[in-house]
Structure formats: structure tokens, C-alpha cells
């Protein structure tokens, strides 16, 4: 039986989705006032999601979408995306993350060269939000329900059926797509990816606003406004948030020295690390370690 994953704050673009020969993974996501966001990230795989409870805000490729219960979302490969909920809101969603190579994106036939590879290369502008009013909704919802049933039951040959269902979903979405043209939004998306990738690789080191601004060829002032606009937080808040998530990963892996963990993830001031950790997780690092030992 496959392990069921939860798409939470620490889900980053370098995560492995599924297995090498079956790159498909199901995620159940729960967001509420305690955990109100999935921070901006991206990966090589595409995503197909149904919101099963509540309302939320999805940001896909720097475009905001107000999503209601029952809506379906498609996130193309390599697109930046994030989720957030209002203070009193609670959402549940079901997501399938799949690599286009599973559908034949790395083949040399007409399906790959004419459709799948262009999707992977972002040559098509695909519909991201499919509401109940969308002409493709009824068919896409039926496909989604079939994917859920097959993925959970694992009947003999279910991988073949899942492959065909994801291809059907792509066929439907392509009927409402158009050829992409270069735009300012695409350029902004690439700049933001470069910044987030740099932070991911250097979070353990000292990172200055100047360093990040230079990646975008922006002034510091312009960069700070740019980052806050698209990330809904300052770059300092984002870096600290990532460092805290990395600290939690180290604690979960068995590290017990709070000082060493603090230094390894980029916090040079231990008392500041304590305050930030308690603010985010509502407990001290020591209390967190003790709770892990009890599991």
C-alpha cells in the first residue's frame, strides 16, 4: 500500500514525488488558522487538485485564483504556486502530482513532440482553475473521481488506467489552451524562481538583501517591493521561515544540539532562534525535541 502524504509548509520543489518508474503521488492537504499557507514553491511535475472543503486563495505563476469547494486546479510543470487561507477558514484538498514523462513526455512520438513537450516547456497557456461553470468541469470531475478510486484500490493494471486518465485530463485542458507569448509575468516568475532557488541552496549562510536583489538586477528597494508583492511576506521573513523548517527536519532526523542546529540552518544568535521557533511552532526547541522522543 502506498504511503499517503500531506502537502504541508515544508513541501519544497526538490521533494521526490512518487517513484522513479511510477512518478505519481497523492497528497491530502489540510490548512487552517494554525497552518494557513503552503509557501511558494515549484517542481518538475504537474499537479491536479480538487478542493474538497472550504475556500482559499491559490497563486499560480504569480496569478491569484479564488478557489471554492469543488473547484479543480491544474498546475503545469515548473510553475510557481502557493496556497493560503483566511484566518477563520479551513480547507481540505486532494492533489495528484505527476511527471509528464509518465505520460510519455520523454518519448519521440507525435503526442510528445506536439503536446506534452510543449506543455513541459511552458509553450501553452493552460487553464489553471476549472470551476463548476467551466465547460470542461463535468468531464474533468469524472476523470478525477476515477483517478481517486484507482489510486486507492490499486487493482491489477491500475497504473495503465491512471496513465490513460491523466492523458484524458491533458486532452481536455488543451482544448482550452493557447500558445504562449513572452510576457512580463513570465520574466517576473523566472526572477522569483532564481531568488528562491538561491535561498534554498544558501539558507545556512549569511544572505543579504543586496545579494538577492543582484540576482534580479533590481535595486534593494525595488527588490523588497517585488518580493513582498509576490510572496506576501518580506524576504527576511521567508528566509527565517525556511531556516526554521530546516531546523525541524534536523530535529526529526535525531539532532539534539539546539546550538548546532541553530548555526547549521543560518541562525547566528541562539536567543533569536529560540524566539523565532516558539513564535512559529508555539513551543521551544527543547519542548519540540522532548515531544519527538515521546512519539
Distance of CA 281 to the CA centre of its chain: 21
* Among candidate residues 279, 186, 214, the one with its CA nearest the CA of residue 241: 279
Position 5 pLDDT exceeds 70: no
Domains in the chain, CATH or no CATH each: 24-179 (2.60.120.10), 184-294 (1.10.10.60)
Q: pLDDT by residue (tens digit) across 49-58?
A: 999 999 999 9
113 is written with which cell numbers?
Answer: 513532440
169 is written with which cell numbers?
Answer: 485530463
Confidence of residue 103 (pLDDT cuts 50, 70, 90): very high
Position 295 pLDDT exceeds 90: no
Sign of CA dihedral 7, 223, 239, 122: positive
pLDDT of residue 49: 98
pLDDT of residue 19: 76
Q: pLDDT by residue (tens digit) across 180-235?
A: 755 666 788 889 889 999 999 999 999 999 999 999 999 999 999 999 888 878 99
Q: pLDDT by residue (tens digit) across 57-71?
A: 999 988 899 999 999
Distance, in Å, from the CA atom of 119 to the CA atom of 126, rounded to the nearest integer, reads 8
> What's the pTM value of the predicted model, to 2 decimals?
0.76
The Cβ of residue 226 has, within 10 Å, a number of other Cβ atoms equal to 20
Position 12 pLDDT exceeds 60: no
Amino acid at each position: 500500500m502506498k504511503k499517503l502524504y500531506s502537502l504541508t509548509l515544508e513541501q519544497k520543489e526538490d521533494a521526490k514525488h512518487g517513484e522513479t518508474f511510477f512518478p505519481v503521488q497523492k497528497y491530502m492537504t489540510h490548512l487552517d488558522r494554525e497552518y494557513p499557507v503552503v509557501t511558494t514553491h515549484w517542481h518538475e511535475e504537474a499537479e491536479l487538485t480538487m478542493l474538497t472543503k472550504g475556500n482559499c486563495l491559490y497563486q499560480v505563476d504569480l496569478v491569484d485564483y479564488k478557489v471554492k469547494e469543488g473547484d479543480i486546479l491544474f498546475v503545469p510543470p515548473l510553475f510557481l504556486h502557493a496556497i493560503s487561507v483566511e484566518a477563520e477558514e479551513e480547507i481540505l484538498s486532494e492533489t495528484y502530482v505527476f511527471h509528464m514523462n509518465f505520460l510519455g513526455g520523454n518519448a519521440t512520438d507525435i503526442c510528445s513532440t506536439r503536446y506534452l513537450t510543449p506543455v513541459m516547456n511552458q509553450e501553452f497557456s493552460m487553464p489553471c482553475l476549472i470551476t463548476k461553470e467551466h465547460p470542461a468541469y463535468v468531464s474533468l470531475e469524472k476523470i478525477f473521481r476515477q483517478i481517486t478510486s484507482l489510486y486507492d484500490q490499486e487493482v491489477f493494471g491500475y497504473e495503465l488506467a491512471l496513465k490513460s486518465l491523466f492523458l484524458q485530463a491533458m486532452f481536455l485542458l488543451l482544448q482550452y489552451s493557447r500558445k504562449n507569448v513572452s510576457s512580463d509575468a513570465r520574466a517576473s516568475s523566472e526572477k522569483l524562481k532564481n531568488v528562491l532557488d538561491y535561498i534554498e541552496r544558501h539558507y545556512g549562510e549569511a544572505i543579504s538583501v543586496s545579494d538577492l536583489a543582484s540576482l534580479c538586477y533590481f535595486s534593494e528597494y525595488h527588490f523588497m517591493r517585488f518580493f513582498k508583492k509576490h510572496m506576501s511576506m518580506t524576504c527576511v521573513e521567508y528566509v527565517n521561515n525556511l531556516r526554521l523548517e530546516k531546523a525541524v527536519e534536523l530535529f526529526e532526523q535525531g539532532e539534539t544540539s539546539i546550538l548546532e542546529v541553530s548555526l547549521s540552518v543560518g541562525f547566528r544568535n541562539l536567543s533569536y532562534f529560540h524566539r523565532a521557533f516558539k513564535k512559529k511552532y508555539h513551543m521551544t526547541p527543547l519542548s519540540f525535541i522532548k515531544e519527538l522522543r515521546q512519539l
